[in-house]
Structure 1
Amino acid sequence: MTKIDDTPPAWDERTQLSTFLDYTRGTALAKCEGVSPENARKALLPGSPLMTMSGVINHLRWVEYYWFQVIFLGEEDLAPMTDEDPDREMRIAVDFPLTQLLDEYAEQSARYRELAAGYDLDTKARGTIRNGLHVDLRWILHHLIEETARHNGHLDILRELLDGTTGR
């Protein structure tokens, strides 16, 4: 798997947050290296039929969309999830090649990296979270690191169950 560096080139807060978010994003991509199209769509956990490698990658893509586009910028939510099908982004992922999902996630990550670089970490989001608060960009970056790292654990388990591959 591709080696990803988590050491920031500078020690200021922004660089550390950006580096760790990029590290977790890169880890998600690396977990999927060499996965066959068939394996990318396999659900291996009986209690989680939507938990596929494709589903997790598509979920990560839409999570970043939600936090940057909807919450931070205050734009209309165009994500595929609905009240009736809150996990739809994971369900529909099997209809797309994993390579497409990975490319879209990487391209989107690059756009959001550039977007975040243009704002102060203290900038408040235009949209609100569930409790009505306007979080700042710093909080969003921390949250995305946590969310992506958590799902990397899911990808790690799925990958080991699929073909025995372990590690980063």
Structure 2
Amino acid sequence: MTTRTDVPAALDERTQLTTFLDYARATARAKCEGVSAENARRAPLPGSPLMTLAGLINHLRWVEHWWFEVMFLGEEDRGPWTDEDPDREMRIAVDRPLDELLAEYEAACARHRELVAAHPLDTVAKRTRGDGGQFDLRWILLHMTEETARHNGHLDILRELVDGTTGA
């Protein structure tokens, strides 16, 4: 697990990008510290039955898989989603202990840190966008930071609603 800081050790582009992504990742984990198993599965927003702490952590784990392994490396998509159930990763998370989901998320993040360290930021993803264009690793890092930070806002609201905990 990485230390939660948004202050990069150096000011080069790679260090800044990876530091901010790791900060967002660590914040997601911090939002879940000390939550009960019951509250990790609670969906307090009536219009969003899949919005749970567990569901969002599982979603973040699989979004990492999609962008780094599927899009960037061109590997097979092993995600739990299907055409019939595109949000399945959120749905199935409530049947799993949060500590297992967090461990899987951290393991995925560790793999992706190594992957990022091994490639120049200008490296183009193996898979193309729907319009035929390509993403580079720099864009994927920026996107993952945005995606994770956006969901941290959701985690923050959900945590306050399920047990009153704020901060982190």
Query: What range describes the TM-score normalised by the shorter chain of this pair?
Result: over 0.9
| Aligned mates of 1:14, 1:8 — CA distance in 2 | 10
TM-score of the aligned structures, taking structure 2 as reference length: 0.97
Alignment of 1:67-146 (within 5 A): 67-146=67-146
| Aligned mates of 2:88, 2:156 — CA distance in 1 | 22
Q: Check the 8 A contact 2:50/2:91 in 1, yes or no.
A: yes
The residue identity in structure 1 corresponding to 2:85 is: D
| Aligned mates of 1:5, 1:106 — CA distance in 2 | 16
| Aligned mates of 2:130, 2:112 — CA distance in 1 | 22
Structure 2 unmatched ranges of 5 or more: none
- In the alignment of these two chains, the number of paired residues is 166
Match of residue 31 from structure 1: 31
Match of residue 16 from structure 1: 16
| Aligned mates of 1:23, 1:48 — CA distance in 2 | 27
Structure 1 unmatched ranges of 5 or more: none
1:5 counterpart = 2:5: yes
Q: Check the 8 A contact 2:4/2:22 in 1, yes or no.
A: no
Give CA deviations for 1:115-145 in whole Å, capped at 9, x if unaligned: 1000000000001122222200000000000
| Aligned mates of 1:145, 1:95 — CA distance in 2 | 27
Match of residue 59 from structure 1: 59
Kindly state the Cα deviation for residue 164 of structure 1 after the two structures are TM-superposed. 1.1
TM-score of the aligned structures, taking structure 1 as reference length: 0.97
The residue identity in structure 2 corresponding to 1:93 is: A
- How large is the RMSD of aligned CA atoms in angstroms? 0.9
Q: What percent identity do the matched residue pairs reach?
A: 70
The residue identity in structure 1 corresponding to 2:148 is: T
Kindly state the Cα deviation for residue 83 of structure 1 after the two structures are TM-superposed. 1.1
Q: Which consecutive aligned stretches of 4+ in structure 1 deviate over 3 angstroms post-superposition?
A: none
| Aligned mates of 2:95, 2:145 — CA distance in 1 | 27
Give CA deviations for 1:35-66 in whole Å, capped at 9, x if unaligned: 11110000011110000000000000000000
Helix, strand or coil for the counterpart of 1:55?
helix
The residue identity in structure 1 corresponding to 2:16 is: Q
The residue identity in structure 1 corresponding to 2:22 is: D
Alignment of 1:39-58 (within 5 A): 39-58=39-58
Helix, strand or coil for the counterpart of 2:76?
coil
